[in-house]
């Protein structure tokens, strides 16, 4: 066996060693910031989030408690590039460390721009930007869905412009966050909400101006694909004049501002009214000229020989029709009179036959009644005869009578029992 070398100092246990690491790390990494991609996001039943922040070379376990989630109002999903703030915590039972998250932000603008260009190229190669996939906007929309924040100025601009230009339309708002980590999922939910009902004539999705970071939800791939699959024509109205967002490329029409989106979405009712009035005046002038032209033609035809001949022919035919009508009326009256007399004769004949039939049936019924009375076995009793019964049976022949047994004598209204002494 190898010789054991005694230690000149105390050796710490695993717990003591871990406590030293815990004290060292937790004191050095408080309020730390770290950037990476979210992965394996999982929310427990009690509302806590457990996930991993990673890059291509390393991973960092993270926890965001429920009260932090409620305070930040953040909804995190896999694949988001974020900056997390928090403090490092060592968990001795598992011998691991994790970041207790207290802050969630989108990643920096440089990386966002790089992600924008990469996603733009990807979707363009797939054909999501092709003009052949663009749907035309309706000329006179009646139901318009708007996906934006209910508290933002964009929706108020849309409403005021709609009321001024096209008050015939009804606007339906789906509230969605327009910036932050929750925005993209809520925008997708809004698009799917209107798509499933498919009752809208047009959709407007957008917000007011802001930085690239603020506008980033409109550059998310999930939003782009939801717009591409939407069966309703969509106007993207992200409020920035110069730059485009991914939603601008995918949507059927792009507006620089929400107000411009309203102008593109609906016609101006005053312009329509002026056009209708102009068309009405032009139509009135056209009809008046046409009427005058046909009146002149009729006047010329009225004095022509050919029209006079046609008039005489029409008059002759009318007289002929009147004569035929009078002849038909006379024949019809005669036919009705003859049919009435025939019906009257039929009625008398039927009544006579019915009376004879009833009389014959009465006579037959009376004869049958007499026959039944004669066949009545009780008729002799009514004439004073007596019936002999023995054992409740009518004794009709002497040989059927049993001497020495009791028997009954039955009259019409009385019956008595006679007892015999046996011989």
Residue 347 pLDDT exceeds 90: no
Residue 211 clears pLDDT 90, i.e. is over it: no
pLDDT-derived band at 5 (thresholds 50, 70, 90) equals low
Winning range, highest mean pLDDT, from 106-120, 231-245, 320-334? 320-334
Return the pLDDT at 7.
Answer: 53
Domains and CATH numbers, the chain: 14-107 (2.40.50.140), 133-267 (3.40.50.2300), 380-418 (no CATH)
Q: How far apart are the first and last CA of the chain?
A: 143
CB 282 within 8 A of CB 290: no
Other C-beta atoms lying within 10 Å of the C-beta of residue 228: 17
- CA-to-CA separations, 234 to 144, 245, 247, 342, in angstroms, rounded: 10, 14, 10, 81
More confident: 252 or 107:
252
Mean pLDDT on 154-164: 93
Burial of 344 (0-12, 13-18, 19+ CB in 10 A): exposed
Q: What's the token pair of residue 145?
A: 């869905």
> What was the pLDDT predicted at 166?
94
Strand ranges of the sheet holding 234-238, from the earlier edge strand across to the other edge: 170-175, 143-148, 202-207, 234-238, 253-254
Buried/exposed 381-419: b ≥16 CB within 10 Å, e otherwise: beeeeebbeeeeeebeeeeeeeeeeebbebeeeeeeeee
pLDDT tens-digit map of 35-46: 999 999 999 999
Residue 373 has pLDDT above 80, yes or no: no
pLDDT bin (cut points 50, 70, 90) of residue 381 is confident
- Interatomic CA distance for residues 14 and 131, integer angstroms: 66
CB 246 within 8 A of CB 224: yes
The mean predicted confidence, pLDDT, of the chain is 86
Share of the chain above pLDDT 70, in %: 92
Low-confidence winner among 183-187, 191-195, 278-282, 393-397 (lowest mean pLDDT): 393-397
- Residue 80: pLDDT band (50, 70, 90) is confident
Alpha helices per DSSP H over 266-378: 269-302, 305-374
Percent of the chain with pLDDT over 90: 41
- Over residues 64-87, the mean pLDDT reads 85
pLDDT tops 80 at residue 243: no
Give the model's pLDDT for residue 160. 94
What pLDDT, on the 0 to 100 scale, is given for residue 9? 60
Task: State pTM to two decimals.
Answer: 0.50
Average pLDDT over residues 65-91: 86
For residue 228, pLDDT beyond 80: yes
Contact 410, 381 (CB under 8 A): yes
């Amino acid at each position: 066996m190898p010789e054991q070398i005694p230690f000149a100092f105390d050796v710490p246990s695993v717990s003591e060693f871990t406590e030293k690491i815990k004290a060292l790390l937790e004191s050095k990494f408080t309020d730390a910031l770290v950037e990476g991609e979210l992965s394996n996001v999982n929310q427990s039943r009690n509302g806590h989030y457990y996930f991993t922040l990673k890059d291509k070379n390393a991973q960092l376990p993270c926890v965001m408690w429920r009260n932090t989630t409620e305070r930040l109002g953040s909804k995190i999903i896999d694949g988001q590039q974020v900056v997390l703030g928090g403090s490092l915590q060592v968990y001795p039972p598992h011998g691991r460390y994790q970041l207790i998250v207290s802050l969630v932000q989108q990643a920096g603008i440089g990386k966002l721009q790089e992600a924008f260009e990469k996603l733009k190229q990807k979707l363009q190669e797939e054909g999501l930007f092709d003009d052949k996939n663009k749907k035309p906007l309706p000329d006179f929309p009646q139901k318009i869905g708007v996906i934006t924040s209910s508290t933002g100025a964009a929706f108020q601009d849309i409403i005021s412009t709609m009321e001024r230009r096209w008050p015939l339309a009804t606007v339906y708002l789906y509230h969605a966050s327009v910036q932050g980590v929750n925005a993209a999922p809520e925008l997708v939910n809004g698009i799917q909400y209107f798509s499933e009902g498919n009752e809208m004539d047009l959709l407007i999705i957008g917000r007011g101006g802001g930085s690239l970071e603020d506008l980033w939800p409109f550059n998310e791939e999930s939003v782009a694909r939801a717009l591409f699959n939407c069966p309703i024509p969509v106007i993207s109205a992200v409020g920035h004049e110069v730059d485009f967002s991914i939603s601008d490329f995918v949507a059927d029409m792009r507006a620089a501002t929400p107000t411009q989106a309203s102008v593109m979405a609906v016609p101006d009712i005053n312009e329509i009214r002026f056009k209708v009035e102009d068309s009405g005046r032009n139509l009135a002038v056209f009809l008046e000229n046409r009427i005058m032209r046909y009146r002149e033609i009729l006047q010329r035809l009225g004095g022509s020989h050919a029209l006079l001949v046609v008039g005489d022919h029409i008059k002759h035919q009318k007289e002929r029709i009147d004569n035929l009508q009078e002849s038909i009326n006379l024949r019809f009256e005669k036919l009705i009179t003859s049919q009435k007399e025939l019906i009257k004769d039929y009625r008398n004949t039927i009544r006579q036959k019915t009376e004879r039939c009833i009389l014959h049936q009465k006579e037959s019924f009376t004869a049958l009644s007499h026959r039944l009375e004669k066949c009545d076995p009780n008729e002799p009793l009514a004439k004073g005869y007596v019936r002999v019964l023995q054992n409740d049976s009518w004794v009709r022949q002497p040989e059927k009578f049993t001497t020495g047994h009791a028997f009954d004598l039955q009259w019409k209204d009385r019956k008595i029992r006679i007892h015999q002494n046996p011989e």
